[in-house]
Amino acid sequence: MLRMLKILLIVSVASWGLLGVFNNILDWGGTTGAVGATTSMATFEGGADNWRATSNPALILAGALFIVFLKSSSAILCLTGAWQMWIARAGDAAAFAKAKTLALAGCAVAILMLFAGWIVIADTWFELWRSEVLREAALDSAFRYCGMIGLIALFVGMHDE
């Protein structure tokens, strides 16, 4: 039963990544707009005048591609890992543990994207924490997703008897 739940949780992380990529691509203007609003620091008073603020289109594109690429990578790793876990579900503990590797890597990639992209770069470097407009929409969501995916990874990574 626990093995099935672990597989379903990994599939849910993959679904989060796939739906996120779908929405990021479908609303590419919104994706680049969110990155641009972050890097321009224009959503809070005095931010746009800061020396770190930039509206460089190449940087905005790189940020948007970073999000899409890492969400895609996370989803693919999680789906592949979930499939391997499915195949190993009736095997011994060592085989099931080995099957978790890609799934856990997918979770790690998602956490990396959320933490490095939103917490380190957006929040710390571009001071997004000052923005009343984006704080809840971007930072709170990133923290929530990062926390849930981290908890899922810890649960899935636990030793199976």
Residue-level pLDDT at 137 = 84
83: containing domain: 2-20+67-157
- Cα separation, 115 vs 133, whole angstroms: 20
Would residue 41 count as lying in a domain?
A: no
Task: Report yes or no on 49 lying in a domain.
Answer: no
pLDDT digits (tens, 9 = 90+) for 32-75: 999 999 999 999 999 899 999 999 999 999 999 999 999 999 99
98 within 8 A of 88, measured Cβ to Cβ: yes
Question: Is residue 32 in a domain?
Answer: no
Whether 161 shows a pLDDT value over 80: the answer reads no
- How many separate domains does the chain show? 1
In a domain, 137, yes or no: yes
**Do the domain assignments include residue 99?**
yes
90 within domain boundaries: yes
Residue 9 lies in a domain: yes
- Domain assignment of residue 139, yes or no: yes
